Amino acid sequence: MRAYGHGCGDVCPRLPFLDVLEQAETMLTIWIIHRDAQHRATLARIAGAGDSTVLGAPTDRLFESASPPGAVVLGLSGDFEQELDFVHRFGSRLRRSAWILLAPVGDLDEVRRLFDTLRARLIAYPPSPLELRRALRAALQRRTADSLSSRKGRDTLRDRFARWFADLELPELMRAIDPRLSQLPLLIRGEEGTGRALLARYVHAFGGSGEEAFIPVNCREITRAEDLLRQIDGSAAANHNEAWTIWLEDVDCLPLPLQRLVRDWIEFGLPDGTLRASELRWIAGAGDDGDLDADPGLDPRLTQALSGLTVRIPPLRERRERIEAFTADTALAWCSTYGERLRRFSRDAVQLLNDYPWPGNFRELEAVVIRTLSFSSSDPLLPVHLRFPGDSCWLGQREDDSALTETEAEIPEATILEEDEEAYVEEESEEVYDEEEIEEAIGPLLTPIRRGGLSPDEESSDAVEMAVRAAESVLPIPPTAAAGQQPDSRLRRLVRAVAHEVRNPLVSIRTFSELLPDHYDDAEFRTHFRELVGQDVRRIDEAVGRLQNIVDMPEVKSQPVHMAHLLEGLLDERQGEIQSRRLLVLKELDHDVPYALGDPLQLRDAFAGLLDRALAGVSDRGDIYLASKHHESGLAGRPSVRVLLRHTTAAVDDSGSRGTQPRADLDLVLAETVIQALDGSLTVDTTDSQERVIVVDLPAPS
């Protein structure tokens, strides 16, 4: 084979080549570049290069058509401008080649500065033959094959990607993994849990050279450019790679000024003073268009900077036909990974999975399937085995709705009562309910609690069934007074609120109790059973205890209470949750005329419950408004202090179920009971589906 050279006489002679090339199955090419022809020939001789060597100057066009080399030897001279231009033209094309830079001893530091993004070995010029040959041997012997761990990771990623996206046609994805577009920015849109991060990792793994470092950045907690750059620099330095893929998760949660800075970094490069990358790709994840969850949303100018490639992932509610196959595929993968026998989900279990609203999309579904498999060894897996999120009240509400539907079917249409609390007409009832009647209504619930939990003399399932029947017994409407009069709405709501608080833990207790006979010999199951029942019993105990406090309410001792101080103290106690969830709390509290008449402890309990109810009902990153104001005639012409509590509500999906379930009405009913006992009033405005407004008027000194 003839060597390529610059000019007629610039040909490398046949010399003994490196030992490694004698053993190679295919001949590897070496490029030797220097402005001076004599220097090129000298470098070829001392390197021991052979026929497969291409020699030339940095400006020669022959390199445009030459075979990609295994190694590039670049001699630097003059002002380095021609060499810098050569690397600029060929650096990205030859990212798999090994680069060796030869520079005068006095210029080594300057070379490091100018060639900062090039991964190269730097050798002082002129090099010794032994040093140059060793450098070439090391370069040509590099093994680029993936390690076993990398191969396993890529297989796992490929399989999981197939489970999540097998049903989708994503034309833009094929362009995203095209190696020719491996540095083009990519925007992935979709709701949380749809697989944005999974798709980003897939594009990184299969759409680049395989040598890039994946740098994930969670933008939800970042408010300053310094923090964002620190995360990028820290991750890049830890990976020791000079080629990066930066994944900006929830980029639409960055403040708008910072989003505009990111746009500049994408278009013009990272600012001076940060680590440099030889190759850099930006991938960003954001919510769907019009996603109200993301605050402040995606800046249009950043959208344009990322618009080279855009992939949108539809939510699970638009792909419900995928639920059954995804569940089976996930079960197969999990059982294979952990050496378990394959288990299937029954038809009824799959139907229950189809009915669930899945606010967390595929990530939540995957978690439920894995949690169910790890908890139960039954085959098939029945609805009772499904492990929905621990903070989800959906299953209990579903049972309540089913029971209500069956009850309404038995009542003539003209006598069906509206469930909306505001539909009841508040009228004085001649029927008086005392402590004994309340005790009779909820007594069956109090008995197991007062005994310290479930009776040891009874089978668990029998005790649970007894508790369930007791909970259901308080749901019917209390007896009314004389014909034509409305029932006591307050007592009705109070009993319903307590029943709701009790019913949800009873569902999980009943589920575990049904499984106990089959798993009694499993020590781990018994431990988990004891912990769960203990938690749920404490929850029931708390609900009944709060009701008992109302029953035992002492005589009201009215005195001036500084409402601004009381409300500020309650907010301070909840500051940790407010900050962790990034809630925006606006307050306008009257410190000029702040006093209301009431019992300080009872008012504190009432407003603590209202605040906790608001915190439970607001979405993360939502807002709460709290205000107090003195009114000269707020209570039927009498002076009052008015407290207004307004908060946005968690988003409602197509099924009407909230992603974050608000607390039951027990807080509201108990607060209303206290406030009315203090001659005040409480009203709730629920006309706006996106917010709740509670207005409290308390008597004030004249």
Top-confidence residue, 273 or 551: 273
User: Taking residues 36-60, what's their average pLDDT?
Assistant: 86
Position 548 scores a pLDDT of 61
pLDDT band at 22 (very low <50, low <70, confident <90, very high): very low
The 8-class DSSP code of residue 381 comes to B
Q: What is the chain's mean pLDDT, rounded?
A: 75
Indicate the fold that domain 320-385 takes in CATH: Helicase, Ruva Protein; domain 3 (1.10.8)
User: Taking residues 88-96, what's their average pLDDT?
Assistant: 81
Is 2 a residue whose pLDDT tops 60? no
Is 330 a residue whose pLDDT tops 90? yes
Residue with tokens 């009872």: 602
User: Taking residues 667-679, what's their average pLDDT?
Assistant: 82
Position 427 scores a pLDDT of 37
Position 57 scores a pLDDT of 93
Is 283 a residue whose pLDDT tops 90? yes
Is 429 a residue whose pLDDT tops 50? no
Q: Which of 32-46, 134-148, 234-248, 622-636 has the least mean pLDDT?
A: 134-148
pLDDT band at 512 (very low <50, low <70, confident <90, very high): low
User: Taking residues 357-367, what's their average pLDDT?
Assistant: 91
Is 535 a residue whose pLDDT tops 60? yes
Select the highest-mean-pLDDT range: 451-455, 509-513, 522-526, 698-702. 698-702
Check if the beta carbon of residue 14 is closer than 8 Å to that of residue 50: yes
Q: Which of 302-316, 415-429, 683-697 has the least mean pLDDT?
A: 415-429
Is 197 a residue whose pLDDT tops 90? yes
Is 329 a residue whose pLDDT tops 90? yes
Which CATH architecture is the domain 559-699 placed in? 2-Layer Sandwich (3.30)
pLDDT tens-place string over residues 674-690: 888 888 888 887 555 56
Is 350 a residue whose pLDDT tops 60? yes
- Give me 450's structure tokens: 């007062």
Is 194 a residue whose pLDDT tops 90? yes
Which CATH architecture is the domain 19-140 placed in? 3-Layer(aba) Sandwich (3.40)
User: Taking residues 527-537, what's their average pLDDT?
Assistant: 73
Domain boundaries, the chain: 19-140, 148-314, 320-385, 394-551, 559-699
pLDDT tens-place string over residues 460-508: 334 344 444 443 443 333 333 333 334 345 555 555 556 556 666 666 6
For residues 396 and 461, give the distance between their C-alpha atoms in angstroms, rounded to a whole number.
18
User: Of all residues in the chain, what percent carry a pLDDT higher than 90?
Assistant: 21
Q: Do domains 19-140 and 148-314 have the same CATH topology?
A: yes
pLDDT band at 122 (very low <50, low <70, confident <90, very high): very high
Position 464 scores a pLDDT of 40
User: Of all residues in the chain, what percent carry a pLDDT higher than 70?
Assistant: 68
Is 446 a residue whose pLDDT tops 70? no
Position 27 scores a pLDDT of 47
Position 190 scores a pLDDT of 92
> Which residues does 40 contact at the CB level (< 8 Å), separation at least 6?
5, 6, 10, 32, 33, 34, 55, 56, 57, 75
Position 147 scores a pLDDT of 67
Is 441 a residue whose pLDDT tops 60? no
Terminal Cα distance for the chain, rounded: 108
Domain 148-314 belongs in CATH node 3.40.50.300:
yes
User: Taking residues 524-531, what's their average pLDDT?
Assistant: 72
Q: Which long-range contacts (CB under 8 A, 24 or more apart) does 307-310 make?
A: 307/187, 308/181, 308/184, 308/185, 308/186, 309/172, 309/175, 309/176, 309/181, 309/184, 309/185, 309/186, 309/187, 310/172, 310/186, 310/187, 310/188, 310/189
Position 196 scores a pLDDT of 93
- Give me 694's structure tokens: 């509670």
Position 442 scores a pLDDT of 44
Position 601 scores a pLDDT of 85
Count of C-beta atoms within a 10 Å radius of residue 575: 10
